[in-house]
Copies of this chain bind each other. A is one copy, B any other.
Amino acid sequence: MEAFAVPDVPEIRAGDDLAAIVEERVDLRPDDVVVVASTVVSKAEGRTADLDAFPAGPRAVEIADRLESATGDEKDPRFAQAVLEESTELLMDEPFLLTETRFGHVNVNAGIDRSNVPGADLLLLPKRPSESAARIREGLASEAPIVVTDTCGRPFRHGQRGVAIGWAGMPASRDWRGEADRDGHELEVTVQSVVDELAAAANLIAGEGDGGTPIVVIRDWSFGDHEGSDELFRSVESDFVRQALRKWDYED
């Protein structure tokens, strides 16, 4: 397996054609996977916004006030409003905002970025990243699979890592159920989220800074002969951590 950044990607603006940008720079092969940081997908889709576009309602004002007293940092209620508008559920409102985005991804601040966004206050995540992935894929002659990524934190472990938030042209996961281990027994790991592993691999190269390498091609990797699954985001019914968070208060 090989992974390399698409060279010389320009600063992306609303309306830019990411598929064309890739095709002009790389001779894609049909079994390549193209991994695209959501930051440039969002920019291409015009998902920049200014704080003024989110006049704060009473709930956002209350949330920002509580965050301010919990953290001691100044909090803009318009930012809280933006997070609420991007979310279907607020999982934690103290000491930071953890929400479920409209497409099911759980992330701090609904994944709204304030870095790498020239000329605007905020960059919202793509509205439906798997649809973004499908659109980029349609623009490629090779129809290579696309994974759209973001960087985010997680419980239990410090730090952040690349994860998939959208994908097209391949299943999200290898489903190993029914397959055997080296000993002929049935496997314990049943579902391997390869889109998340591809996102993590690409993030090693993309980085988080001013590298300018938002698009990474994964070459000579293959999904292999496995069943596939497209379930990636847990619903609250199957997620005990979300159930526990619903009952939890920072104050306690």
Contacts and interface: CB of A to CB of B under 8 A. Distances in A.
Interface of A: 1-4, 11, 92, 95, 105-106, 113-118, 151, 154-163, 172-174, 176, 179-183, 185-194, 196-198, 200-201, 203-205, 207-210, 212, 221, 224, 229, 231-234, 238-245, 247-248, 250, 252
Contacts of A11: 182
Nearest to A186: B115
B193 A208 contact: no
A161 B192 contact: yes
B116 A181 contact: yes
A98 to B, nearest CB: 8
Nearest to A238: B158
Copies of the protein in its oligomer: 2
B233 A151 contact: no
A173 to B, nearest CB: 5
B231 A204 contact: no
Contacts of A242: 155-156
B161 A234 contact: no
Nearest to A247: B248
B4 A162 contact: no
A95 B105 CA distance: 24
Given A161-B193, A247-B252, 8 more contacts: A115-B187, A154-B154, A155-B241, A156-B241, A157-B233, A159-B196, A159-B231, A192-B208
Contacts of A244: 241, 244-245, 247-248
A156 B234 contact: yes
Contact of A209 (B158, B163, B179, B194): B179
A201 B95 CA distance: 32
Contact of A161 (B114, B196, B229): B196
A158 B197 contact: no
A176 B160 CA distance: 11
Given A115-B187, A185-B115, A240 B201 contact: no
A96 to B, nearest CB: 9
Nearest to A106: B156
